[in-house]
A = this chain, B = another copy of it.
Amino acid sequence: MKLVDIAEALDARVTGDGTIEVLRAVHPADAAGPEDLVIAMDKALLPLLATTPARAAVVLEGVLPPTGNVVACVVVKRAATAMAGLTTLFERPIHAEAGIHPTAVVAPDAVVGTGVSLGAFVFVGSRAVIGPGTIVMSHVTIGAEARVGAACLFHPGVRVGERVEIGDRVILHHNASIGADGFSFITPEPGSVETAKATGQVGASNRLLRRINSIGTVILGDDVEVGANSAIDRGTVTATRVGRNSKIDNLVQIGHNVVVGENCMICGLTGIAGSAVIGNRVVLAGRVGVADHQKIGDDAIVMAGSGVATNVPPKAVYGGYPAVPRDRALEQVVNIGRLKSLYAEVAALKARLKSVEPPPEKG
């Protein structure tokens, strides 16, 4: 690829010889030869350009790369946007063979679209439908009556439960579980949790647990992405839903009946308990918990590690355990840090006060 073409794709400009051709885009530490394009948009990486064997680099507008082998630069304005462009230009697409692998098991009444790739040991259940151009890698399960859209990419080990509905261009990573049963058990009489919520005390013993079956399903919108080893449970009666273009990281748990809006980003190890409602464009950072039935408004952000036990208004930034508005959360951290000196101060006040008080009367 010529530097001028890369620059055009990135809406960037070239300094130096734009006719230089590169084969790979690499981190400066990994550069191996003159056919490499080193990506050095982070200032901390610039010194590595002095010794790189590469002849071309991508740098941010306004920086001066050191002299060395690098004789041409693609100069970009915004690193994040450029990185999206670069990793598209130099994408390393998955190896997927055309057609249905001879070891795949496809129910005779399943409907497999044109151009679908089914890898080794793929199982497709009865009456399942797979849209055109979808790539299903090895070891994937697509349950009976599931409906999968077009141009999806399911990585090895993905489990799509029965009757689950998946939009177009959805990416599911290693071992993601879509449509396991919800975790829903009840006690015939009010149990320990119900009594504790009502009174603060455990007033009953859960000697009998009865299962609520999940007769609902999961519906994922177009362009959703779900990370490795994440789990989205089916709804009890209706569907658990993730809106179009929402992105879910690894090891995320989304409980039964949850509704996630569009364009959300939900980071690793986050858990959303049953029936919570997450708006559009919400960002849940890593290791967040959202309690059941809570609502998080559009465009809200929840900071990493927080435990959300209340509703969160739109556009709010919440943090802490329990989560509160960010400013209060930060203030609380500072206030807790100052406690040591507060205790000392109160002790000093006490002593000073004593010295201005009249002596106690004798009995």
Please determine whether A174 and B321 come into contact, CB atoms closer than 8 angstroms.
no
Q: How many copies does the complex hold?
A: 3
Q: CA–CA, A291 to B39, complex, Å?
A: 23
Q: Mark A76-89, 1 if CB is under 8 A from B, else 0.
A: 00001101101110
Please determine whether A231 and B250 come into contact, CB atoms closer than 8 angstroms.
yes
Please determine whether A210 and B84 come into contact, CB atoms closer than 8 angstroms.
yes
Please determine whether A205 and B238 come into contact, CB atoms closer than 8 angstroms.
no
CB distance from A78 to the nearest CB of B (A): 8
Contact flag A193-B301 (CB < 8 Å), given A81-B210, A233-B250: yes
Please determine whether A345 and B350 come into contact, CB atoms closer than 8 angstroms.
yes
Please determine whether B317 and A201 come into contact, CB atoms closer than 8 angstroms.
yes
Please determine whether B255 and A271 come into contact, CB atoms closer than 8 angstroms.
no
Chain B minimum-CB-distance residue to A79: B186
Please determine whether A177 and B228 come into contact, CB atoms closer than 8 angstroms.
yes
Chain B minimum-CB-distance residue to A87: B213
Please determine whether A206 and B353 come into contact, CB atoms closer than 8 angstroms.
no
Q: CA–CA, A84 to B209, complex, Å?
A: 10
Please give, as numbers and ranges, the residues of chain B lying within 8 Å of A300 by CB-CB distance: 202
Binds B, one of A1-9, A12-20, A331-339: A331-339
Please give, as numbers and ranges, the residues of chain B lying within 8 Å of A213 by CB-CB distance: 84, 87-88, 91-92
**A95 in the interface, Cβ–Cβ < 8 Å?**
yes
Contact flag A192-B229 (CB < 8 Å), given A83-B236, A143-B95, A174-B159: no
Q: CA–CA, A84 to B186, complex, Å?
A: 8
CB distance from A158 to the nearest CB of B (A): 9
Contact flag A291-B304 (CB < 8 Å), given A174-B180, A181-B173, A356-B357: yes
**A74 in the interface, Cβ–Cβ < 8 Å?**
no
User: Which residues of chain A in 216-256 are interfacial with respect to chain B, using CB atoms and an 8 Å cutoff?
Assistant: 216, 225, 227-231, 233, 235-239, 245, 247, 249-251, 253, 255
Q: CA–CA, A343 to B334, complex, Å?
A: 11
CB distance from A310 to the nearest CB of B (A): 12
CB distance from A156 to the nearest CB of B (A): 4
Please determine whether B29 and A238 come into contact, CB atoms closer than 8 angstroms.
yes
Please give, as numbers and ranges, the residues of chain B lying within 8 Å of A239 by CB-CB distance: 30
Chain B minimum-CB-distance residue to A159: B174
The one of B141, B192, B196, B273 in contact with A139, judged by C-beta atoms closer than 8 angstroms, is B141
What are 23 A-to-B residue pairs whose CB atoms are below 8 Å?
Answer: A29-B238, A30-B239, A80-B187, A81-B186, A83-B212, A86-B237, A88-B213, A103-B103, A121-B123, A121-B139, A137-B141, A156-B159, A174-B177, A180-B228, A205-B298, A205-B299, A209-B265, A227-B231, A231-B251, A233-B250, A250-B253, A287-B287, A352-B357
